[in-house]
Chains A and B, each alone.
Chain A
Amino acid sequence: MYNEKVVDHFNNPRNVGDLPDADAVGETGSFKCGDTMKLYIKVKDERIVDVSFQTYGCGAAIASSSMLTEIVKGKTLDEAMQVTNQDVAEQLGGLPPLKLHCSNLAADALHNAIAEYRKKQEVAGKG
């Protein structure tokens, strides 16, 4: 059902766990199927220097989360905002049509994390 790359990311997920000194955390969940994802980012000079994830979900959801962390590590926040769920699925070499839904968490969690980071910066800037 899944290609080798997906299975590899599922079996050996990259960047799993929380980041104790994360600058922002993005969360997202699917009310429908119940999958949930938490993405932690560490930012320095507008660049994502470290990233990690925790995901509750199926094989596709876990593999997509892992792939996303690989894609965004080292990217600037502006570049990371451009990453889409489709990019993640493509980088994984494609997902079965029925499982595309399950990969839609990853980029959303990332964008939420960046939004949270920007909000924090704004508050800090004002203060």
Chain B
Amino acid sequence: MNSREVYMDHGATTPVREEVLEAMLPFFKEQYGNPSSVHSKGREVRNAVEEAREKTASALGASPGEIYFTSGGTESNNIVLRGAAKKHEGFGHIITSAIEHHAVLDVCRDLEKEGHRVTFLPVDKYGRLDPSTVEDAITPETFIISIMAANNEIGTLQPLEEIGAIAAKHNIIFHTDAVQVVGQLPVDLKKMQVDFLSLSAHKFNGPKGVGALYKRKGIKIDPLYRGGGQEGKLRPGTENVPGVIGLARALELSVEEIPHKINTLQSLRDKLIEGLLKIDEVVLNGHPEERLPGNVNVSFKYIEGEAILLSLDMEGIAASSGSACSSGSLDPSHVLSAIGLDHQTAHGSVRFSLGRGNSETDIDYVLEKVPAVVDRLRRISPIRRSG
């Protein structure tokens, strides 16, 4: 077993940073009041929650009244899609892409079963959506367009501004699942003309189990739950106070660091891609330029992703894969299929997602270990014997 640990699965989750944990701790201890209580114990916490809302809003260029705290990206997505569908009278039409996260895709599939019509737009071989296909898909019944800001597996960024302009022109609600982008890249709500945006704290060194939904002022949807009326009745239930405080602090810090972070991450990313592509029969998945600054996704031909992950794990390297065997299902990732990868290439995919804390020595270490792992597995594989 190797003593070195290199974490390259930031697309899955990130560690909570020290400053964030510190900001959260008082709300587990002294400041335990319920923000809805009238007494001072409650009021001081209410103030802290509202301050967190202000910080979150200002990090996104929104106003505090437009921020709703949720339990994470999945819940935010469900609230928007189901809430908009409930608000829509009769059966409507939804436009989304074929490569959305399951938290959008599966909600759309359910809504389809319930009587709505859904268009799952295709993407090109890099995972990019052509905005003109969005406009072509619009019907008089279309009530929402939901397109992710960046893909979680292959990192491809979508042309949100162009899609937003189309949605605005046709007066259709525009939602983006920005879980992978918030805290990584600048987000300009006005330019993108989004009505709803989902984000999740644990993707930017915040705590797990807390997220937010941006809802543009004036847009109305029906809530999924009934309860005590918290979060403007859109997401009732006593607030996850330490989580909310942690989210705001983590967002504040990561947005501040974006200008510096982008360059660092991109150069690490490009170095890793360059090094991996030097290995025989390796292909890059996703867009060469229009991709998340920390995302590297490659397919190693003739070998299977889960076996690669296991071998990397032995070397202390944490990564992920879109292969069937690593997903627990029998099918490879819908994203890799949608960009046209054949079954075998999808099966050999590995995602290295870089983040805060990764250094050049990490990249060197990975590039030192990967060729041997690939070589060993290729020697076991019947598909092609190497050397």
A34 lies within 8 A of B307 (CB): no
A60 to B325, CA, bound (A): 9
Kindly state whether residue B299 has any CB partner on chain A within 8 Å.
Answer: no
Q: Which of B307, B323, B385 has most chain A Cβ within 10 Å?
A: B307
Q: Is A11 an interface residue (CB 8 A)?
A: yes
The CA of A72 and the CA of B307, in the complex, are separated in Å by: 24
Chain B residue nearest to A60 in the complex (CB): B325
Q: Quick one: which of A1-37 are within 8 Å of B by CB?
A: 2, 7, 10-11, 13, 16-18, 27, 30, 32-37
Contact of A120 with B by CB under 8 A: no
Is A55 a contact of B381 with CB atoms below 8 Å?
yes
Q: Size range of the interface on A? A: 20 to 34
CB distance from B197 to the nearest CB of A (A): 34
The answer to the question of B310 belonging to the interface, with a C-beta cut-off of 8 Å to chain A, is yes
Contact status B325-A57, CB under 8 Å? yes
- Which A62-94 residues have C-beta < 8 A from chain B? 62
Q: Answer whether residue B382 sits at the interface, using C-beta atoms and an 8 A cutoff.
A: yes
- With contacts A57-B307, A98-B328 taken as known, whether A34 is within 8 angstroms of B382 at the C-beta atoms is no
**Selected contact of A10 from candidates B302, B310, B331, B381, CB within 8 Å:** B310
Residue contact A101 to B330, C-beta cutoff 8 Å: yes
The total of interchain contacts (Cβ-Cβ below 8 angstroms) comes to 72
Known contacts A10-B307, A56-B303, A101-B330; is A33 also within 8 Å of B324 by CB? yes
CB < 8 Å neighbour of B381 from A2, A56, A99, A101: A56
CB-CB under 8 A from A102, the residues of chain B are 325
**Does chain B have a CB within 8 A of A49?**
no
A35 and B347 alpha carbons, distance in the complex (Å):
9
Bitwise interface map of A from 37 to 57 toward B, beta carbon under 8 Å scored 1, else 0:
110000000000000001111
Chain B positions within 8 Å of A54 at CB level: 380-382, 385
User: Which residues of the partner chain B approach A27 to less than 8 Å between Cβ atoms?
Assistant: 382
Residue of B nearest to A27 (CB): B382
Q: A59-B307, A62-B307 are in contact. Are A16 and B325 (CB under 8 A)?
A: no
Extra contacts, 18 of them, besides A54-B385, A61-B304 (Cβ < 8 A), are A27-B382, A32-B330, A33-B324, A33-B325, A33-B330, A33-B347, A34-B332, A34-B343, A37-B382, A54-B381, A56-B303, A56-B304, A56-B383, A58-B305, A58-B323, A59-B310, A60-B325, A99-B325
User: Which B residues lie at the A interface, using CB under 8 A?
Assistant: 302-307, 310-311, 314, 323-326, 328, 330-332, 343-344, 347, 379-383, 385
